[in-house]
Amino acid sequence: MVLRMALHLPTIPNDCIGEIVSIAAFAAARGWVPATSGNFSRRIDARHIAITRSGIDKGSIRADDLIVVDLAAALPPGVSAEAPLHAERYRADASVGAVAHVHTIAATVLSRADASRGHVLLDGFEMHKVLDGITTHESTVRLPIFANDQDTQALAQRVEAALPPNPVPGYLLSGHGLYAWGATAADTRRHLEGLQFLLQCALEERRLGQ
């Protein structure tokens, strides 16, 4: 009985496939997922997500590049090594509907430069307002930075233990990249693009010595 339940995985709805293909292509077109890096996922139901498999070009994802993960079971073979970071985000917050992970230059450079501080400070930008819960540019966003770790299951658990309630919808892994999430795929894309814009602004300001 237990085995049968574990094998009974839902098919991935077409709208879910379309949303993952769309956000991945959006990121790929901007050079945010170079050399098959990055990964994208979307919740199917309370217990299951669909996630990109390992080692694919994110600019040309097909339906059979997506793998269903049962959040109540062990991860299946073929998923990205970073799948635990997605799965733990969905387990920790039932309102999370999609997760995106990219390797942008701004995220990679700033996450190294500010690793000892534990966050990148993003202060006073109008773009803050695209982040859920922020209604004014007169705000300070501290985007958390966590030390990278090849044991992504242990890393995912450390991240979730450290995130505050109602966190900024993203975090950085040092020398690695940016994670962002939202209630829908559209929210996730908005948060991803907004956070990437803010990181790019912070990087450009430092180049100017500001």
Stretch that binds Zn ion, among 7-15, 141-149, 164-172, 174-182 (CB under 5 A): 174-182
CA 8 to CA 72: how far, in whole Å?
A: 12
Tell me which stretch binds Zn ion (CB under 5 A): 66-74, 86-94, 133-141, 169-177: 169-177
Q: How far is the CB of 80 from Zn ion (least distance, A)?
A: 8
Q: Residue 31: left if φ>0, alpha if ψ -120 to 50, beta else—which one?
A: left
Segment contacting Zn ion by CB under 5 A, of 4-12, 48-56, 147-155, 173-181: 173-181
How many CB atoms are located within 10 Å of the residue 205 CB? 10
Which of 67-75, 85-93, 153-161, 170-178 is the region at the interface with Zn ion (rule: CB under 5 A)?
A: 170-178
Q: Please state the three-class secondary structure of the chain as a single string.
A: CHHHHHHCCCCCCHHHHHHHHHHHHHHHHCCCCHHHCCEEEEECCCCEEEEEECCCCCCCCCHHHEEEEECCCCCCCCECCCHHHHHHHHHHCCCCCEEEEECCHHHHHHHHHCCCCCEEEEECCHHHHHCCCCCCCCCEEEEEEECCCCCHHHHHHHHHHHCCCCCCCEEEECCCEEEEEECCHHHHHHHHHHHHHHHHHHHHHHHCCC
Nearer Cβ to Zn ion, position 79 or 128? Answer: 79
Q: Which is nearer to Zn ion, 54 or 139 (CB)?
A: 54
Give least dist CB 55 to Zn ion, A: 12
Which residue, judged by CB position, is nearest to Zn ion in the bound state?
177
Q: Which of the ranges 1-9, 49-57, 172-180, 181-189 carries the binding residues for Zn ion, by CB under 5 A?
A: 172-180
Start-to-end Cα distance in the chain: 62
Shortest distance, position 137 Cβ to Zn ion, whole Å = 30
- Map residues 177-196 to x or -, x wherever contact with Zn ion holds by CB under 5 A: x-------------------
CB closer to Zn ion, 61 vs 128? 61
In terms of CB distance, is 50 or 52 closer to Zn ion? Answer: 52
Nearer residue to Zn ion within complex by CB, 128 or 177: 177
Nearer to Zn ion, 19 or 80 (CB): 80
Given the rule CB under 5 A, which residues bind Zn ion? Answer: 177
